[in-house]
Structure 1
Amino acid sequence: MNNTKLPYPPSLQLGMIGNCAYSALIDRGARLVWCCLPRFDGDPVFNALLDPSENGSEWAFELEDFARSEQEYEPNTAVLRTRLYDTRGQGIEIVDFAPRFWSRGRMFRPLTLVRRVKVLQGSPRMRVILRPRFEWGRMQPTVTQGSTHIRYVGGGQTLRVNCDAPISYVLSETFFVVDRPMNFIMGPDETLATGIEDTARHFEQETVSYWRSWTRALALPLEWQEAVIRAAITLKLSLFEDTGAIVAAMTTSIPEAPGSGRNWDYRYCWLRDAFFVVRALNSISEVATMEEYLRWLMNIVIRSGGGHVQPLYGIGQEEKLPEFILDHLPGYRGNGPVRVGNQAQEHFQYDVYGNIILGASQAFHDHRLFKRAGRAEFVHLEAVGEQAFKVYDQPDAGMWELRTRARVHTSSALMSWAACDRLAKVAATLGLPERIRYWRERADVIRGRILKESWSEERQAFAESFGGRDLDASALLMAEVNMIDPNDGRFIATVDALEKSLCDGPYMRRYEAPDDFGKPETAFNICTFWRIDALARIGRKAQAREIFEVMLKSRNHLGMLSEDTHPVTGEMWGNFPQTYSMVGTINAAVRLSAPWDSVI
């Protein structure tokens, strides 16, 4: 009788591979548990993360008499290595990656997933569990086979797996001795140009070389370099290069806390999140992502015609992202519902206008870019600025996307100020003195209103809304976008008040007032990173470093973070990997690191 078990129940102890066209999540046992095709927001053809039952879909290499595993990335790359060992010390290694490299003058990033298996020791026996499904797990594929491939057809897609393992064993899920290297290449229904092993080897070599060259060009801080590299690669993989959109996370419906019902679909492009991604990568001299994103962003700006802009769009500029529930999926650890789409597309979130201009502003000043922004782009952004000034003191859903409450949120007004402020600076670069005065005057009006109407004498802090008293972590952004001197007594008092009201030890929640689902239970990672930034700015660098070290330990074994951290258990919750959280890792390291000239 085979003693086979899956030792790793669903968790966020996952690695991500990808190539800026698609991505896949792989657990510590080398099980592929999430992969949407043909793009990030597509059908999860492997969905075991949300349905670990027999009805779920996965791709696993199960080792007979499994005992333990090891997992790590090939240094400075997006190539994942997982080693599985049995009770006799025999083992195999699975190398997973999505090909990405320059070929024939263009970036080669096919919808292809490569899994390479090799023997580490002994004569281990394994079986291959290869069970893609379509239409969110509701459709089993039609399966056909050739001499060296298996074809899965359904849901308008055809997946072809070319492999040099015994096809009969793969289809029957039979254990067999791994006595030689084996290669699996899943991709379009096309014949390979070269042999299976030659193709897999070539793709791996070129992909490793690409990522090492990409990483080598980063301007890293002296300290925490491995953490910054992993965060940077993760952010790069969140770019959908075909259009330039940046998704907030790769998953849907991982709850913010167990049983909370706060289950959302994050596989879309929020202009807010994308700005923070661009800014973080810019800070370590990776500006290509900004150039790609600006292609997508200017499409959104021009089509808006100076009018309303949604807080998020699909990665192909889709406006309609209707939210619905899939009842047939049990959800992550049984924590339903599973949602597809996001109702936030209907919201009015007025910080969006500032996020647009903040995301684009460096393109006017940076001489390294292939195509710097100029007067034509400035005219389009001025229309966005006009909208920002028009609505800065109007009620909205705010950056936390409250579904049943509208207020004049401080964070929205703050980003409207940032829009006007950055337009004045761009006008200076373009040599337009009249526009400098115009936007500086508007920025000053908004700043005056914020400093007056967001300040709460009762709380001795900047509140979350004009005339309000509730506290919100987003007030910390006042210093980050340079609206207020961090040494201003009001800002320091706000930091103190937020620490008392929103912090559970090192962790920080978003806000204190109950929302549509009650009071938040988990800490929101980006808020903790905002706190780290604020503490460093006001001179409490030692405290900031202590909290940063806690956040580094909160990452999973591969250096990745989700949206939320449970302050008691330390467990990760929320969608994964969350770009906001990875942004925080980079920002904190850059802010806190000792300078290079301290050691050289």
Structure 2
Amino acid sequence: MARIEDLAVIGDLQTAALVDTGGSLDWLCLPRFDSPACFAALLDTEAAGRWLLAPASGGRCTSRRYRGDTLVLETEWVTPEGTVRVVDLMPLRGRYPDVVRVVEGVSGEVPMRGELTIRFDYGRVVPWVRRHGARLQALAGPDALWLSTPAPLAGHDRSTVSEFTVRAGDRVPFVLTWTPGHHDAPPEVDAERALAETLAGWETWVAAGERVGGRWADAVTRSLITLRALTHAPTGGIVAAVTTSLPEQPGGPRNWDYRYSWLRDSTYTLQALLAAGHTAEAAAWRRWLLRVVAGDPADLQIMYAVDGTRRLPELELDWLAGWAGSTPVRTGNGAAGQLQLDVVGEVLDGLHLARAAGLGAADDAWDLQCALVEHLEHQWQQPDSGLWEQRGEPRHFVHSKVMAWVAFDRMVRGAREHDLPGPVEHWEQVRDTIHAQVMDQGVQDGRLTQSYGSTELDAALLLVPRVGFLPTDHPVVVATVEAVERELTRDGLVLRYRPESSGDGLPGTEGVFLACSFWLVDALAGIGRRADAEALFERLLGCASDLGLLSEEWDPDAGRQLGNTPQAFSHFGLVVSAVQLAEGRHARSDHPVGTARAGHPRLP
């Protein structure tokens, strides 16, 4: 089974696939990020579906890389017989999604082997495979996959096998296309043309932004490409990760489905996109946000499917063994029904930033914002499940209260800075009441605590100066940052919280949370410890894979990645930390970070 850091992502801005270092495509959901997987070997064995394309002798590749600033993957093997390269990509989608794999002979004569094992519905459904002229069709109910290749194909043990030899200069294409089961055969795809257009598409997108991050610009660009790959282009929604159920502890039960759009994660990603001048994608996100939160504010959820679907029932797939035996494997996410008070603050913070960056008319979202904050006024004093979606009893989480303060603060500022209507004095009064309550009930021994009446810490407290609740040099901020660094780290990296204090009843522990560690970078820089911030940032770059990809967590004992991948939260943190360090300043969440595009001046 592949290590999480062995997984490379390719995608078409509507879904994504994961390819390991042995040339096996082990995860792909079609036609959308959250559709059932047709290759699910990542969460079981190869019998759950995969697509291997590698030298017949097998083994880990010699090297791999993305071609320039694109999402086109090149995997190379140097064998005793010669050198061969496999180029993997998902063309930017036309009518149907495609996976293109091109075998390139570099030197010598290398025997190759392909094994295509299609299993629809997360490994559960074996399709009917038949020939349609020169193409192969795998059909089962609502799904069909069509394979085109000049290479020889043969059926073996409910898989399709291809054995051939590639010589220097040879190029052998494979194209796999999904259609609904009731559709006719899709048009043929020219692999070479698809490769050229995909390279050009990614290069054009990168060039449309700005190169930011100073000496870390390469890492920032790769993170921005990854965030773009997690974007569902037709709707503007951004998924938290490509995968479900990659564990926070190998063999443990903390396995969740991250193939949905969290309002919180998406809002943070907006800041990263604006940092590099990608205003079109930020504007698409804003339109997505306004659509999904429209309606009764009482029905606001913390997450949605990329098309805005609200019902995300959590199910367990008991026929899958899980990554490294980590069960249960889950689809859907029960946290969608939780009360998390911070989400309204994050939404209003994001809309305030979008308005400041000129992404929409000053008042086109204002009625919705007024409705949200009016509803929050009746909720903010309730306990909730908090940023980390803890499944124990609700509590009065300090971060949640701080974000309620943010909601009212951004409404006050929005009304005054953009001349928008509203009960500004009343909003100010509620904002100040929340602030006073947090400082009275959320501070112990001169530092912020995870929840009222608790002495526990929470990494989300590192965000308090970022949202402007307290200045970076405030004694409570300094004491909190130092306490988190001292008491909530393992090997210098940050835990979200102490799992034993979560109250969720789940056994085991988890790795350090990479996004939280980037927050500590920002906080250390904010309190004047720039050298320590840079050292931690460099350490975090070392947690990325050889392709620059980050998952959700890191196991400092085993030195490997944990959790769903690639993780938007982690890559957002990398971008913002790099830009802040490069510019030598501490950014506020409501101020655009980095160099703004023409027509969108950066705020002070």
Decide: shared fold, TM above 0.5.
yes
Counterpart for residue 143 of structure 1: 129
Do 2:27 and 2:42's aligned partners in 1 also have CA atoms closer than 8 Å?
Answer: yes
- Which of 274, 279, 299 is the matching residue for 2:291? 299
- Which of 377, 385, 397 is the matching residue for 2:385? 397
Q: Is 1:339 matched with 2:339?
A: no
Shift of 1:191: 5.4
Structure 2: distance between partners of 1:29 and 1:213: 30
Equivalences for residues 97-496 of structure 1 within 5 A = 97-100=89-92, 108=94, 110-168=96-154, 173-179=161-167, 180-189=170-179, 199-219=190-210, 220-303=212-295, 305-367=296-358, 369=359, 372-432=360-420, 435-457=423-445, 460-496=446-482
Counterpart for residue 73 of structure 1: 66
> Could you tell me which amino acid in structure 2 is paired with residue 207 of structure 1?
T
Do 2:50 and 2:118's aligned partners in 1 also have CA atoms closer than 8 Å?
Answer: yes
Do 2:252 and 2:327's aligned partners in 1 also have CA atoms closer than 8 Å?
Answer: no
Moved more, 323-332 or 441-450: 441-450
C-alpha distance 426-545 of structure 1, shift in aligned 2 (>3 A) = same
C-alpha distance 504-373 of structure 1, shift in aligned 2 (>3 A) = same
Gaps of 5+ in 2: 585-593, 596-604
Moved more, 161-170 or 575-584: 161-170
C-alpha distance 448-115 of structure 1, shift in aligned 2 (>3 A) = same
Shift of 1:71: 0.7
Structure 2: distance between partners of 1:262 and 1:574: 9
> Could you tell me which amino acid in structure 2 is paired with residue 440 of structure 1?
E
Shift of 1:479: 0.7
Counterpart for residue 3 of structure 1: none
C-alpha distance 441-109 of structure 1, shift in aligned 2 (>3 A) = farther
Shift of 1:470: 1.2
Do 2:485 and 2:492's aligned partners in 1 also have CA atoms closer than 8 Å?
Answer: no
What is the number of residues matched between the two proteins? 573
Shift of 1:330: 0.6
Do 1:132 and 1:141's aligned partners in 2 also have CA atoms closer than 8 Å?
Answer: yes
Do 1:463 and 1:470's aligned partners in 2 also have CA atoms closer than 8 Å?
Answer: yes
- 3-state SS of 2:547 partner: coil
Shift of 1:257: 1.1
Counterpart for residue 601 of structure 2: none
Shift of 1:378: 0.5
Moved more, 279-288 or 512-521: 512-521
Structure 2: distance between partners of 1:336 and 1:134: 20
Equivalences for residues 53-68 of structure 1 within 5 A = 53=46, 55-66=47-58, 68=61
Shift of 1:331: 0.5
> Could you tell me which amino acid in structure 2 is paired with residue 200 of structure 1?
A
Identity %: 33
Do 1:397 and 1:405's aligned partners in 2 also have CA atoms closer than 8 Å?
Answer: yes
Shift of 1:507: 0.5
Structure 2: distance between partners of 1:498 and 1:333: 31
Counterpart for residue 591 of structure 2: none
Gaps of 5+ in 1: 1-7, 101-106
Counterpart for residue 558 of structure 2: 569
Moved more, 580-589 or 208-217: 208-217
Structure 1: distance between partners of 2:369 and 2:323: 41
C-alpha distance 155-585 of structure 1, shift in aligned 2 (>3 A) = farther
> Could you tell me which amino acid in structure 1 is paired with residue 304 of structure 2?
Y
Q: Which has the higher contact order (CA 8 A, sep 6+)?
A: 2
Moved more, 120-129 or 317-326: 317-326
> Could you tell me which amino acid in structure 1 is paired with residue 24 of structure 2?
R
- Which of 23, 34, 38 is the matching residue for 1:41? 34
Shift of 1:374: 3.0
- 3-state SS of 1:135 partner: helix
Shift of 1:483: 1.1
Shift of 1:433: 6.9
- 3-state SS of 1:186 partner: strand
Moved more, 557-566 or 381-390: 381-390
Deviations along 1:358-413, one digit per CA (max 9) or x if unpaired, are 2222232223x4xx143231011111112223222210111111112211111111
Do 2:30 and 2:178's aligned partners in 1 also have CA atoms closer than 8 Å?
Answer: no
The alignment's TM-score, normalised by the length of structure 1, stands at: 0.91
Query: Structure 1 runs of 4+ off > 6 angstroms?
Result: none
C-alpha distance 174-301 of structure 1, shift in aligned 2 (>3 A) = closer
Do 2:8 and 2:18's aligned partners in 1 also have CA atoms closer than 8 Å?
Answer: yes
Counterpart for residue 588 of structure 2: none
> Could you tell me which amino acid in structure 2 is paired with residue 496 of structure 1?
E
Do 2:55 and 2:77's aligned partners in 1 also have CA atoms closer than 8 Å?
Answer: yes
Deviations along 1:315-359, one digit per CA (max 9) or x if unpaired, are 222222111211111100122111111110121111111121122
Moved more, 41-50 or 90-99: 90-99
Q: Is 1:551 matched with 2:540?
A: yes
Counterpart for residue 549 of structure 2: 560
Deviations along 1:150-197, one digit per CA (max 9) or x if unpaired, are 111114111112222223489752532124311112114565656x5x
Structure 1: distance between partners of 2:481 and 2:78: 49
Deviations along 1:77-101, one digit per CA (max 9) or x if unpaired, are 111111123233x12211111112x
Counterpart for residue 103 of structure 1: none
Structure 1: distance between partners of 2:419 and 2:314: 46
RMSD (CA atoms): 2.1
The alignment's TM-score, normalised by the length of structure 2, stands at: 0.90
Structure 1: distance between partners of 2:50 and 2:237: 27
Structure 1: distance between partners of 2:87 and 2:561: 25
Structure 1: distance between partners of 2:56 and 2:222: 32
Shift of 1:62: 2.9
Deviations along 1:525-567, one digit per CA (max 9) or x if unpaired, are 1111111110011110100111111110011111011111012
Do 2:151 and 2:164's aligned partners in 1 also have CA atoms closer than 8 Å?
Answer: no
Structure 2: distance between partners of 1:594 and 1:378: 32
